[in-house]
A and B are shown apart, each in its own frame.
Chain A
Amino acid sequence: MDKRLTRILPRVQKPSRYTGGEYNQILKNKNEVDLRVAFCFPDTYEIGMSNLGMSILYQTMNSLDSVWCERVFAPWGDMYEEMKKAGIPLYALESGDPVSEFDTVMFSIGYEMAYTTVLDMLDMAGIPLRSENRPDLLPLVCAGGSACVNAEPMAPFIDLFFLGEGEELDNEVLLLLRKAKMEGWSKKEFLRQAAMIQGVYVPSLYDVSYNGNGTIRAITPETGVPAKVKKRIVEDLDAAPYPTDPIVPSTEVVHDRVSLELFRGCVRGCRFCQAGYIYRPIRSKKPQTLIRQGIEAVQNTGHEEISLLSLSTSDYRPLSELCDGLLDYCESRSVGLALPSLRADNFSVEIMEKIQKVRKSGLTFAVEGGSQRLRDAINKNVTEEDVLNTCALAFSGGWNSVKLYYMLGLPTETDEDIVGIAEMSEKILHCWRMNAKNKSRGVRITVSTSCFIPKPHSPFQWEAQVSAEEYLRRVNLLRSSIKARNVVYNWHDAETSVIEAALSRGDRRLADVLEEVFRNGGRLEAWTDYFRYERWMDAFARCGLDISFYASRERNVTEILPWDMIDMGVRKSLLLREKEKAYRSELTPDCRKACSACGAASLLKGIQCDG
């Protein structure tokens, strides 16, 4: 280990997150591989090590003998200061080698607020931020993840984006890069070749021009480059790589458990939900595969909990079979089973009682809207009756804590809808009084609201976000409407939501804002510890850009959107149809009741969509 590091580490908080050496880390001889990958997560170790995508792709890339993929995370503030002071550049955990020595730097970006941390990590590595200032092929700077479905604000910094799922795509690109390195291709030669691979978006090959009013005039690809980049998926999830021997952190991370992914995509089509659209088509894993992988992973890691992951666990058809199979193994070994993302409408008593046998956690409902009219407008197929029935069952079964999630600022929301949130929590409280067997322990009902953020590739991608002032007015309205003592109300602050709204639907000009924020110390901006609203507002002002143009402007449906060169599988005409239905409070049945022919199924060649 670097001698300078041994002097610093005893002084910083939780130093073991900066050392590597965990069980199951992958070590290779750097002289025996052709390509070294610095796989970067633009947030802390605790967050990055909880990310299943990171874990899958780490193993996928390392499955190539010619490649050694290592992990890199962003240091917390104290370590950042110490590294700067000692002149230690950003390094990878496995080898401890500086990131600048690697052939490629690949970022997994899951949320927009991590953008400036990407810049910070490049800077800490001593790599020029802008693609145009890196004339050589190596190090190639890539990025993928759900915050790259509109990659435009990051376009000037990143050489190559991965769209969609990386299990096959990443290795195809790596092998091409290996060839390019061996044969001494120019960066341009490589990028043009790579752009022919489905799922690769090379922003420098697309020219964007603007109208006088700031909207986009045209997106023009270079000759021979696809006008639309289609995302990649893996078809057969049972055969897709899943690490049953993931790295086991030696310190506590956010999700310290085995994560089993049941299926990808979602059949529900909630109109505000980007994830519900960008991960289609629906592909499920077989319960036998999941049971086998879950047991192997518990054996290989020593974890005490398995968590079932998906966008809507209740929609996994063989859920009972899966739970039975896992519980068979888990119960006798005190391994807990966690089922987040259960829906209130088809939440079965059976499932609830099953998981309760091992460990009891709280109940969480994502209700999203305070009235049936609004829930219909957003296509959230949950009724008050569903929630109350489920609560009744839960309370009589001994549960005494309920969390309810809502969004404020959804399209068509009125004050009546907001007051409806308070009314519903009163009804749940009443429900507890009627059903709880043991009232002495009390009940805790937690209502949380966040500010709605319109997201690209969702039916609400053209919508305006309410202003921060308006969001706070709605928060205060709700606060004054909640009277019951047992109901706790938490609200997400408006300021980060405004920035996130601007970034998520931003264009390339926002790159200047990102760089400005970074130059003024903006890193780890997803953390309230570090987020500074003024820094963002100053940066917008200095770059001559108006944040409301991005955040709170309704887009005309004929406008060219910054992400129009990206095809996530669902047709734009379907998104538009859904937007129009929202204004008529008209429901769209879930994919299993009636396929809406969204277009995503055309990504499949050998199998059918499970929707």
Chain B
Amino acid sequence: MDKLRMRFSKTGRAVYISHLDLMHTMQRAIARAGYSLKYSEGYNPHPQISIALPLSVGMSSICEIMDFRLNEEIDTRIFRDKVNGCFPEGILATEVYPAERKSSLIKWLEIEGTFEYDERRPEEVLDSVAAFFDQERIVVDKKSKRGMTETDIRPMIRSIAFSSREDALMVHALISAADPTLNPELLSGALRQLKPELAPDFASYCRIETLLSDGEIFR
């Protein structure tokens, strides 16, 4: 059968499952649902399954994308319902459909961040944090393969907006998913490096949507 795509969410306790473990978890869930994954040919066959844009451990998402091939023709809705009965807590398939476009076309990610401040009320810092991200350049030290490098992350942020809730400052942003990739952690990380007095005591992130370079939703 042709390449299939599953959109799924990874929230709650499942956010601590690493990318590698998630691949294995998916394989087993599909086996439990009674389907058989197609294996690659060759000396060391491996199941044909790939998850786009590995999510950092601790980060949640409602727009994960997994491509895979099965040995059989399926009804995608039945497949989705069956596999949903076979996941560990926190993983849920929202849609299963034939993959038409390559997942490498994903350019932007819509994300939501929750900045928690233990000592202050979120609205106290709202304006200053917004102003910080309004700068033309935000140059941070970033770990790369060749040690630490300086990177301007501002061009990787297409839009960013803040709002305050009672218990946290909420961040809504469109950030670059690929070429170059911006790890959302660097949003709170930038504050910690450059404006520590504005940095939250704890930040968590959730992926909301995958977008093409023109801003259209990727499916």
A10–B24 touching, CB < 8 Å? no
User: Which residue of A250, A301, A302, A303 contacts B17 across the interface (Cβ within 8 Å)?
Assistant: A250
Q: Please report which residues of chain A, range 564-605, place their CB below 8 angstroms from some CB of chain B when the two chains form the complex.
A: none
B18–A20 touching, CB < 8 Å? no
Known contacts A6-B204, A7-B202, A9-B58: does B32 contact A16 (CB below 8 Å)?
no
B58–A251 touching, CB < 8 Å? no
Known contacts A6-B204, A334-B39: does B29 contact A15 (CB below 8 Å)?
no
B32–A15 touching, CB < 8 Å? no
A476 at the interface (CB under 8 A from B): no
A303–B28 touching, CB < 8 Å? yes
Closest chain A residue to B27, Cβ basis: A302
B21 at the interface (CB under 8 A from A): yes
B196 at the interface (CB under 8 A from A): no
B18–A16 touching, CB < 8 Å? yes
Closest chain B residue to A1, Cβ basis: B13
B28–A248 touching, CB < 8 Å? yes
A300 at the interface (CB under 8 A from B): yes
In the complex, A22 Cα to B88 Cα: how many Å?
5
A110 at the interface (CB under 8 A from B): no
B105 at the interface (CB under 8 A from A): no
User: Which residue of A9, A21, A333 contacts B90 across the interface (Cβ within 8 Å)?
Assistant: A21
A10–B57 touching, CB < 8 Å? yes
Contacts of A19 in B (CB 8 A): 13, 16
B28–A301 touching, CB < 8 Å? yes
CB distance from B24 to the nearest CB of A (A): 7
Q: Please report which residues of chain B, range 35-83, place their CB below 8 angstroms from some CB of chain A when the two chains form the complex.
A: 36, 39, 45, 57-58
B132 at the interface (CB under 8 A from A): no
Closest chain A residue to B85, Cβ basis: A23
Q: Please report which residues of chain A, range 9-32, place their CB below 8 angstroms from some CB of chain B when the two chains form the complex.
A: 9-10, 14-16, 18-23, 25
User: Which residue of B12, B18, B32, B202 contacts A21 across the interface (Cβ within 8 Å)?
Assistant: B12
Closest chain A residue to B45, Cβ basis: A334
B31 at the interface (CB under 8 A from A): yes
Chain A positions 443 through 477: 1 when the CB is less than 8 Å from some CB of chain B, otherwise 0: 00000000000000000000000000000000000
B18–A251 touching, CB < 8 Å? yes
In the complex, A334 Cα to B27 Cα: how many Å?
13
Known contacts A248-B28, A302-B28, A303-B28: does B18 contact A14 (CB below 8 Å)?
yes
A299 at the interface (CB under 8 A from B): yes
User: Which residue of B17, B45, B86, B204 contacts A16 across the interface (Cβ within 8 Å)?
Assistant: B17
In this complex, the member of B25, B39, B87, B88 whose beta carbon has the largest number of chain A beta carbons within 10 angstroms is B88
B150 at the interface (CB under 8 A from A): no
Q: Interface size for chain B: under 10, 10 to 19, 20 to 34, or 35 or more residues?
A: 20 to 34
B24–A252 touching, CB < 8 Å? yes
Contacts of B45 in A (CB 8 A): 334
In the complex, A14 Cα to B57 Cα: how many Å?
9
Q: Please report which residues of chain A, range 206-252, place their CB below 8 angstroms from some CB of chain B when the two chains form the complex.
A: 248, 250-252
Chain B positions 1 through 39: 1 when the CB is less than 8 Å from some CB of chain A, otherwise 0: 000000000001110111001001101111110101001
A302–B31 touching, CB < 8 Å? yes
CB distance from B153 to the nearest CB of A (A): 20
B89 at the interface (CB under 8 A from A): yes
In the complex, A299 Cα to B36 Cα: how many Å?
11
User: Which residue of A10, A16, A300 contacts B21 across the interface (Cβ within 8 Å)?
Assistant: A16
In the complex, A603 Cα to B21 Cα: how many Å?
45
CB distance from A243 to the nearest CB of B (A): 15
A23–B87 touching, CB < 8 Å? yes
Closest chain B residue to A298, Cβ basis: B31
Chain A positions 248 through 269: 1 when the CB is less than 8 Å from some CB of chain B, otherwise 0: 1011100000000000000000
B16–A16 touching, CB < 8 Å? yes
CB distance from B180 to the nearest CB of A (A): 23
Closest chain B residue to A300, Cβ basis: B32
Chain B positions 186 through 219: 1 when the CB is less than 8 Å from some CB of chain A, otherwise 0: 0000000000000000101000000000000000
B57–A15 touching, CB < 8 Å? yes
Contacts of B204 in A (CB 8 A): 6
Q: Please report which residues of chain A, range 298-313, place their CB below 8 angstroms from some CB of chain B when the two chains form the complex.
A: 299-304
A301–B16 touching, CB < 8 Å? no
In the complex, A18 Cα to B193 Cα: how many Å?
30
Contacts of B28 in A (CB 8 A): 23, 248, 301-303
A23–B29 touching, CB < 8 Å? yes
Contacts of B13 in A (CB 8 A): 1, 16, 19-21
In the complex, A10 Cα to B57 Cα: how many Å?
6
In the complex, A483 Cα to B87 Cα: how many Å?
53
User: Which residue of A14, A23, A303 contacts B86 across the interface (Cβ within 8 Å)?
Assistant: A23
CB distance from A564 to the nearest CB of B (A): 47
Known contacts A9-B58, A21-B90: does B17 contact A251 (CB below 8 Å)?
yes
A250–B32 touching, CB < 8 Å? no
In the complex, A425 Cα to B87 Cα: how many Å?
48
User: Which residue of B14, B36, B89 contacts A333 across the interface (Cβ within 8 Å)?
Assistant: B36
CB distance from A25 to the nearest CB of B (A): 8
CB distance from B8 to the nearest CB of A (A): 14
Contacts of B21 in A (CB 8 A): 16, 250-252
In the complex, A498 Cα to B17 Cα: how many Å?
39
Contacts of B12 in A (CB 8 A): 1, 21
6 A-B pairs with least C-beta separation = A302-B28, A21-B13, A10-B58, A302-B31, A21-B89, A15-B16
Instruction: List A residues at the B interface (Cβ < 8 Å).
Output: 1, 6-7, 9-10, 14-16, 18-23, 25, 248, 250-252, 299-304, 333-334
Give 10 pairs: A residue, B residue, CB < 8 Å, sorted on A. Answer: A15-B58, A16-B21, A19-B16, A21-B12, A21-B88, A250-B17, A299-B34, A302-B27, A303-B28, A304-B31
